[in-house]
Structure formats: structure tokens, C-alpha cells
Amino acid sequence: MGIQTYRLPVLPAIFKEKGYEKQNDVYKNNMTMKQRMIVTLVVTVSYIATAFSQSIKHSIILNDAEKQTRVLVEEVEKARMDKPDLASPRTVEKGELKMVSSRDWTSGFFPGELWFLYEFTRKNEWKQKAEAYTANLEREKTNRGTHDMGFKIYCSFGNGYRLTKNAAYRDVIIQAAKTLSTRFNPVTGCIRSWDTNRDKWGYPVIIDNMMNLELLFVATQLTGDSSFYKIAVTHANTTMKNHFRPDHSSYHVVDYDTITGKVVRKNTHQGYADESAWARGQSWGLYGYTMCFRFTKNRKYLEHAENIASFLLTHPNLPKDFVPYWDYNAPNIPNEERDASAASILASGLYELSTYSKKGKMYKEKADKIVESLTNNYRSPIGENKGFLLVHSVGHMPNKSEINVPIDYADYYYMEAALRSKKLKEKRKLW
């Protein structure tokens, strides 16, 4: 058989980005007809897969989330038959569902996911479930022993009030904000985080605490009482001053002297090292300062969020699929665990940031990339993992806890990101 001439199909310009620059070259070889057909099939399949990845299929994501959450609800209800005091699912450990009480900082995410499903479907099924699991957390509105009021109360009652305007939810939000305000120290200018670890820190403040400020901002909107707003702004300003390095990465923990208000030490608790960039903490920071701009319109918060975004999106250790390693400075990259939770928080924050910034188009594209990556490569098959949506999150690597597992806050922010993406596509406001 003589040398055969075969021309590959003409493909879209996007293939230049994928390394197919020679798509129109003439390939001369001894290919058989069968080999030519295989080449054509491979190229066609690659094109279809690439084209699919360029557009987020919101209906598929959210319909699959609905199917998977039914599995989770069934698992949760079975678990609560024996232990009704357990409020919400947190993760899967050694193949078993781990439930937590209302006191756990993650207890508000599951009710929040149910509210998101109601927002998407408007089905009474999800509203009733959301109401039931939200009610399990009401006792937390007076719990002064935690800074995580936003995570627990705003993700649950806050979303419920946003969607239903239930006056009882409004009252819970206001009481929770009053309770959270008791943890503010005017000398340090911050809301205290943990009450534990007193032997290590005197007055610890963690970057995660930025997420709880939304509860305070909303309380001012609901009541007209500016004291909540002032506490939130003071905390945000103090955190901006003391938590961030010149490159706009964040420390995890800053410890304060309550007599002088000065910083005592800066550490990590869940990151690789004191000077490293713990991935979920960086995402908390971006999301938190973007949210602060929403309520204050203070451009310094917008600029700070943009600076954090620049650090993250241009980091040399950020993988090509935009799902970060559990710490941007983890020692064995690329042989380190990814953290889907850090990615989902980042994506949701970037979608909001895209609505405020002159760089909005770029931020939305990056958020789309993250959601595509999570959807294509980090989702649980329907019916598996006890009904959680995402796999491959990291809770507390130094403590060897919740490593490479499904986890509720990853699912919550993934669903929020998908809904935000859907609203932006439909030219609707996020709120």
C-alpha cells in the first residue's frame, strides 16, 4: 500500500488553546481506513467534550443535586431516629455518615442547601424540609460560646428569611446578631473566635470570622440599629490590617492582647505552616471582603478582595483546573490533597466580585472554570457518599481529620455558586 494522504477535520479555533495548532495540516502516513476512522472519532469526541465544558449546565447540576440530596435526607432521617438531638450531616467517615448537633459550626449548611433547592425548584417538598431542619437550630440564637453565628444562623434562617420573609426568622436573625455582638472587644477591634486553646492563644481571631459579619450587616438592615454595622466594619478593618501579608495572602489565626489591643502572635491552626497560605482561609477572605463591599460600598473592601483574587488566581501552585491544594504552600505539591471546599467558596465569591469589579468578566470566567471542574471531576455519583454532592475536600490536615472526604460546606457553596452562575446567565441580580 502506498503512502496515503489524510486531512483531519476542520475544528474550531478553541482547539488552538488545546494544542491542536496543526489541525489543518496534511498528515501523510500508512494509516488504514480503520485507523482513520478511529482518529476521526477521537477528534469528534474531544470536540464534543470540550464544547460541553465551555458552558455550565445549570439544570443538570441542580437536578442532580436534587436527586442526590434526597439520598442524603433519607440517610439523615435514619440517623436521627436513634439520635434525634443530632441536627445536620457533616461528612462521611470510614463509610459512615457523621451527624452533628446544632452547636457544631457546620450545622447551618444542610438547611441552607435545602433552601437553595427550594429556591431553584419552588417545590413545597424542599420548603418543608428546609423549614424542619432550620427549626432544629433555633436554640443557637442565644449561644454566646461561639463566633460561628453566621454559619449556623445566617446560612439557615438567613436564607429562609430571604426566600419567605417569615417574621419568625427575622427575629431569630436579630437575636443571633445580638448574641454575636457580645463577643466583640472594642480594645482589640475584633470579634473573638475560639474560647478553647486558652493555653495557646489569649484572644484568637481567625480569618473564617469574616464570614460571620453578614449576619451583623443584615441585622442593621432589619432593625435600623447601626451598632451591628459598626462592629462588622471595625472587625473587617482590624482583620484587613493584621491578618494580611504584603502579597495579600492571609494568616489563619491572629492573637491579640486585650489590654493593649496589640497583636501578640500570628499562627496557623489548619494550614501547613504559620507563614503558608491555607487554601480555605484564603477563600474565606475573598468571599468575606466581597460581601463587605456589598453592604458598605466602601471601595477599600472591593480593592482588597481584588488583591486577594490576584494572589489566588495567579499563584504558581494553583492547578490548571483551579481547584486548589489544601494549602498553596503544601510541601509535596503536586502530590498533595485538593480541597473542593476551598474551590467552591472561591467560585461563589468570584461570582459576586464579578458584579462589582471592572475585572468582572475575568472573575466570572474563572468562577465558571472552577464550577466546571468541580462538576466534571469532583462530584459524587448519584446514590453514593451518603448523598453528599462533592468529594475530595480537606477539613483539618494537621489534625489528620476529614481528609479527602465529602463535607457539607463544600456542597453548600457549590450550590450557591451554581445558583449565582445561573442568575448571572439570566441577567438577574444575585439578591
Query: What residues act catalytically?
Result: 148, 208
Tell me the pairing of strands 190-191 and 263-267: unpaired
Q: How far apart are CA 195 and CA 217, in angstroms?
A: 24
The 3-state DSSP composition of the chain as helix, strand, coil percent (nearest 5) reads 55, 10, 35
Which grid cell sits at 388?
A: 453528599
Number of helices followed by number of strands (H, E) in the chain: 15, 11
Residue 234 vs residues 189, 193, 254: alpha-carbon distances, Å:
6, 15, 15
Q: Exposure string (b/e) for 269-286, b if CB count within 10 Å is 16 or more?
A: bbbbeeebbbbbbbbbbb
Q: How far apart are CA 5 and CA 23, in angstroms?
A: 14
The number of beta carbons lying within 10 Å of the beta carbon of residue 84 is: 9
Which grid cell sits at 61?
A: 447540576
